[in-house]
């Protein structure tokens, strides 16, 4: 009896330290933020001295055109980077999924950008985009072409390109892993059935990779909504509000405008958005699992 | 329904040579079975015919023209894989019709074809199931149906029944044998199950270590094995081998071994001529009959070590001097372990092999 009790308790005892850390590091700040979002709160004030304002912060934001602008910049940014990264990453994986000599070196090279710290990526691209001494414009000019106003008029496009450069490898790795775990013999059967390489990709490879691709895409989308450093270093959200994604606006609201309550409310909006995406991802994997389980049960019942 | 010819087919993976010059002629509508132990190169040979493996040296001819440079799809063949290789995301009907849909055949034609082959293999109720919701035997049928739907002239099978349980395997084997009679096609079938090989084949090709050991009709291979390997590979329980000395004793040739001496019939001893001395004697268990009254120079005295009861017959593992000998015996015969019994040797069942080259004498 006693041994039984011990057996049941032991796992929880081992989990406890991690649980405590999680409560302190995760739940406490989260609770603090939610609490703060209902208050009119200046950074100079202690939170206990602040005034309770109900959902005023949320309502203000809801009708704030600057916040709308920032939200739409975020949506455009996240949407376009994820679409472009998925297309390029999966395309590269399909291209490089073969056993040629030197392929492993090439694959390693491809994933380098992902390993560079975001601040460094931002600095690097800011330099390359520089209107006069930047790599791009110097190259364009040496070819006798007009320079492009990268971080000015085309700021959003420029940060999108930088993000694609950094995060395509992530999709590439996962897509390659998915490709290499496809059933080899099904692909051979398709070759015998007369499928051209394109048809193999379209009718066999992509459909079979789809579950992995959906989860990868959602993961990337969640991440893209939170991007901050690269854009902060490259444009600081400018010119105007053209690259001011929500994460940047939150930080500006807190530091420049000194409205911690509004910033907290904005964070909560972002949190809700990300929560929906995460739930969508979990739901997707759950549905997949349930489907395979149901099929397996069906077979068992018949036999 | 073209003939298939393999000419000096060689396969190398890097420095490792897997096939050493395979020469094989398969006539029209012939059912050829490749058998051999694991790793002997059966699948490799089949996959080279299919175009899934490149040809290192030699050439494959289908209907007289060389094909080794062609893509699998241009060789006009269908294949059933060991793991069935179904498309997991397509239902049964779409699996079966995949090749036809790629050929952009008319919808009605495709539907009719799917219904027809589903009928043949007995899958009509399952057309809208995904492979994940089918049992092993049903998946096997889908694989078969998919190959049938293609209407190609050549059928390749790579151990199609090896993932099924014993009962289902027997059933599918019988169905294959029936289908084989109605479907006039060239079939190449890889297996390491000799019962499948014996029951299905027009021609058996026994392979070992990347070489063809012998090929021919099942009966010929069973009765006149070309060498010790083929003799030991075909037949269950396998043939017994004993080291003997050929000696002439009073006008007759006697194969003398440890504790026995068997008279060799004149027609055999004349054939092998003066090739006497140390050779290997092979006798199948089915050629040894329990007979207490047999003459000493036509029989083996065997001491029973183990008796395996397998129904009407028992398989006895016995010792004869220093070698072990397997025999079969009706289960009702009363015997005791350790007892010594006399078994008569059927003269037609005597096989002699050169001890060094292992080829039949
Ligand atoms: N890609 C490869 N690289 C190197 N060696 C290989 C490769 N594929 C097969 N082989 C070798 O070739 C030999 C023949 O393989 P094969 O698959 O044809 O055997 P098999 O007769 O079909 O055996 P089994 O009955 O186990 O299927 C084996 O020794 C195997 O190790
Ligand atoms: Mg094999």
Cα separations in angstroms, A139 against A145, A148, A156, A291:
9, 11, 21, 54
CA A294 to mean position of chain CA atoms = 32
What pLDDT shows up at residue A1? 62
Asked whether residue A8 is domain-assigned, the answer is no
Asked whether residue A104 is domain-assigned, the answer is yes
Sign of the Cα pseudo-torsion (A278, A280, A283, A284, in order)? negative
With bands split at pLDDT 50, 70 and 90, how would you rate the model's confidence at B274? Answer: low
Q: Say if residue A301's pLDDT is above 80.
A: no
The boundaries of the domain holding residue B90 are 4-233
**CA A208/CA A186 separation, integer angstroms:** 10
In this structure, are B183 and B206 located in the same domain? yes
What pLDDT shows up at residue A229? 83
Q: What is the mean pLDDT of chain B?
A: 89
In this structure, are B254 and B180 located in the same domain? no
In this structure, are B216 and B245 located in the same domain? no
The protein residue whose alpha carbon is closest to atom 16 in ligand 1 is B41
CB contact under 8 A, B81 and A194: no
CB A81 within 8 A of CB A161: no
Q: Say if residue B1's pLDDT is above 60.
A: no
Q: Say if residue A237's pLDDT is above 80.
A: no
CB B161 within 8 A of CB B191: yes
Tokens (6 digits) for A94: 């399909």
What pLDDT shows up at residue B273? 62
Asked whether residue A11 is domain-assigned, the answer is no
CATH number of the domain that B33 lies in? 3.40.50.300
Tokens (6 digits) for B58: 């030699």
User: What's the rounded mean pLDDT across residues B77-102?
Assistant: 92
Q: What radius of gyration, in Å, describes the C-alpha atoms of chain B?
A: 25
The DSSP secondary-structure symbol of B65 reads E
In this structure, are B20 and B166 located in the same domain? yes
What pLDDT shows up at residue A168? 92
Provide the number of structural domains found in chain A: 1
Provide the number of structural domains found in chain B: 2
CATH number of the domain that B277 lies in? 2.40.50.140
CATH number of the domain that A242 lies in? 1.10.3720.10
Q: Which of B210, B233, B256 is the last residue of a domain?
A: B233
Closest CB from B71, B85, B98 relative to A183: B85
Q: Which chain A residue shows the shortest CA-CA distance from B143?
A: A189
Q: Which pLDDT tens digit goes with each residue over B169-195?
A: 888 888 888 888 887 888 999 998 888
The boundaries of the domain holding residue A148 are 33-38+48-302
Asked whether residue B142 is domain-assigned, the answer is yes
**CA A229/CA B105 separation, integer angstroms:** 55
Q: Which residues surround ligand 2, an ion (CB under 5 A)?
A: B 43
User: What's the rounded mean pLDDT across residues A223-246?
Assistant: 84
DSSP string covering B113-171, please?
HHHHHHHHHT-GGGTT--GGGS-HHHHHHHHHHHHHHTT-SEEEEESTTTTS-HHHHHH
What pLDDT shows up at residue A89? 93
Q: What is the mean pLDDT of chain A?
A: 86
ipTM of model over 0.85 = no
Asked whether residue B361 is domain-assigned, the answer is no
**CA B288/CA B211 separation, integer angstroms:** 31
Ligand 1 centre distance from Cα of residue B210 (Å): 10
User: What's the rounded mean pLDDT across residues B34-54?
Assistant: 93
Which is it for strands B65-66 and B57-62: parallel, antiparallel or unpaired?
A: antiparallel
Q: Which pLDDT tens digit goes with each residue over A82-131?
A: 999 999 999 999 988 887 777 778 878 888 888 888 889 889 998 898 88
With bands split at pLDDT 50, 70 and 90, how would you rate the model's confidence at B93? Answer: very high
Closest CB from A188, A189, A207 relative to B89: A207
* Residue that has been written with the tokens 């500006």 in this structure: A252
Ligand 1 centre distance from Cα of residue B43 (Å): 7
Interface of A with B in 187-246 (CB under 8 A): 188-195, 199, 203-204, 207-208
In this structure, are B221 and B246 located in the same domain? no
Q: Which pLDDT tens digit goes with each residue over B111-163?
A: 999 999 998 888 888 898 889 888 888 898 999 999 989 888 899 999 988 88
A-B Cβ pairs (cutoff 8 Å, strict) = 70
pTM of the model: 0.81
The DSSP secondary-structure symbol of A45 reads S
CB B73 within 8 A of CB A198: no
Q: Say if residue B275's pLDDT is above 60.
A: no
CB B54 within 8 A of CB B80: no
Ligand 2 centre distance from Cα of residue B158 (Å): 7
CB B174 within 8 A of CB B166: no
Helix (H, G, I), strand (E, B) or coil at A226: coil
**CA A257/CA A33 separation, integer angstroms:** 17
In this structure, are B115 and B164 located in the same domain? yes
């Amino acid at each position: 009896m006693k041994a039984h009790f011990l057996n049941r308790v032991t796992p929880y005892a081992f989990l406890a330290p991690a649980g405590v850390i999680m409560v302190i590091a995760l739940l406490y700040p989260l609770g603090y933020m939610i609490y703060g979002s209902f208050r009119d709160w200046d950074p100079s004030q202690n939170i206990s001295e602040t005034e309770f304002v109900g959902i005023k912060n949320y309502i203000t934001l809801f009708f704030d055109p600057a916040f709308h602008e920032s939200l739409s910049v975020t949506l455009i940014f996240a949407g376009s980077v994820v679409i472009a990264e998925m297309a390029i990453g999966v395309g590269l994986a399909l291209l490089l999924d073969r056993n040629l000599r030197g392929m492993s070196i090439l694959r390693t090279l491809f994933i380098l950008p992902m390993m560079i710290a975001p601040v460094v990526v931002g600095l690097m691209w800011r330099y390359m985009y520089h209107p006069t001494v930047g790599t791009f414009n110097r190259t364009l000019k040496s070819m006798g072409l007009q320079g492009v106003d990268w971080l000015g008029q085309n700021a959003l496009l420029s940060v999108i390109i930088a993000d694609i450069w950094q995060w395509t490898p992530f999709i590439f790795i996962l897509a390659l892993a998915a490709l290499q775990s496809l059933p080899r013999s099904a692909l051979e059967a398709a070759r015998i059935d007369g499928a051209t390489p394109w048809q193999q990709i379209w009718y066999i490879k992509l459909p079979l990779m789809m579950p992995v691709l959906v989860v990868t895409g959602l993961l990337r989308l969640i991440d893209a909504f939170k991007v901050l450093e690269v854009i902060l270093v490259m444009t600081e959200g400018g010119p105007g509000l053209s690259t001011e994604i929500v994460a940047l606006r939150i930080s500006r609201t807190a530091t420049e405008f000194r409205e911690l309550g509004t910033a907290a409310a904005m964070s909560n909006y972002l949190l809700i958005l990300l929560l929906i995406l995460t739930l969508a991802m979990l739901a997707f994997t759950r549905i997949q699992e349930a489907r395979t389980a149901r099929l397996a049960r069906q077979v068992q019942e018949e036999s | 329904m073209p003939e298939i010819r393999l000419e000096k087919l060689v396969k190398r993976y890097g420095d490792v040579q897997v096939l050493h010059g395979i020469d094989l002629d398969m006539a029209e509508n012939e059912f050829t079975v490749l058998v051999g132990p694991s790793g002997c190169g059966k699948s490799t040979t089949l996959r080279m015919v299919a175009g899934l493996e490149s040809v290192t040296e030699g050439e494959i001819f289908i209907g007289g023209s060389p094909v080794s440079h062609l893509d699998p799809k241009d060789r006009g063949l269908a294949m059933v894989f060991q793991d069935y290789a179904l498309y997991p995301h397509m239902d049964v009907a779409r699996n079966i019709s995949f090749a036809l849909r790629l050929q952009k055949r008319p919808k009605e034609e495709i539907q009719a074809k799917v219904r027809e082959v589903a009928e043949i293999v007995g899958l009509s109720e399952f057309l809208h199931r995904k492979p994940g919701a089918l049992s092993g035997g049903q998946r096997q049928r889908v694989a078969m149906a998919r190959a049938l739907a293609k209407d190609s002239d050549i059928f390749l099978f790579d151990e199609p029944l090896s993932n099924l349980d014993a009962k289902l395997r027997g059933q599918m084997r019988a169905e294959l044998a029936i289908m084989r009679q109605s479907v006039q096609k060239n079939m190449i079938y890889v297996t390491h199950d000799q019962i499948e090989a014996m029951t299905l084949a027009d021609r058996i090709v026994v392979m070992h270590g990347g070489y063809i050991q012998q090929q021919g009709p099942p009966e010929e291979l069973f009765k006149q094995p070309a060498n010790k390997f083929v003799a030991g590979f075909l037949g269950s329980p396998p043939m017994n081998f004993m080291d003997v000395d050929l000696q002439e004793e009073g006008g007759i040739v006697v194969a003398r071994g440890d504790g026995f001496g068997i008279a060799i019939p004149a027609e055999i001893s004349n054939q092998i001529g003066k090739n006497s001395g140390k050779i290997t004697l092979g006798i199948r268990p089915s050629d040894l009959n329990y007979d207490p009254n047999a003459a000493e120079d036509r029989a083996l005295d065997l001491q029973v070590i183990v008796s395996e009861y397998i129904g009407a017959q028992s398989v006895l593992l016995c010792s004869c001097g220093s070698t072990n000998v397997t025999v079969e015996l009706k289960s009702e015969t009363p015997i005791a372990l350790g007892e010594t019994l006399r078994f008569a040797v059927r003269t037609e069942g005597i096989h002699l092999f050169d001890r060094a080259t292992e080829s039949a004498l």
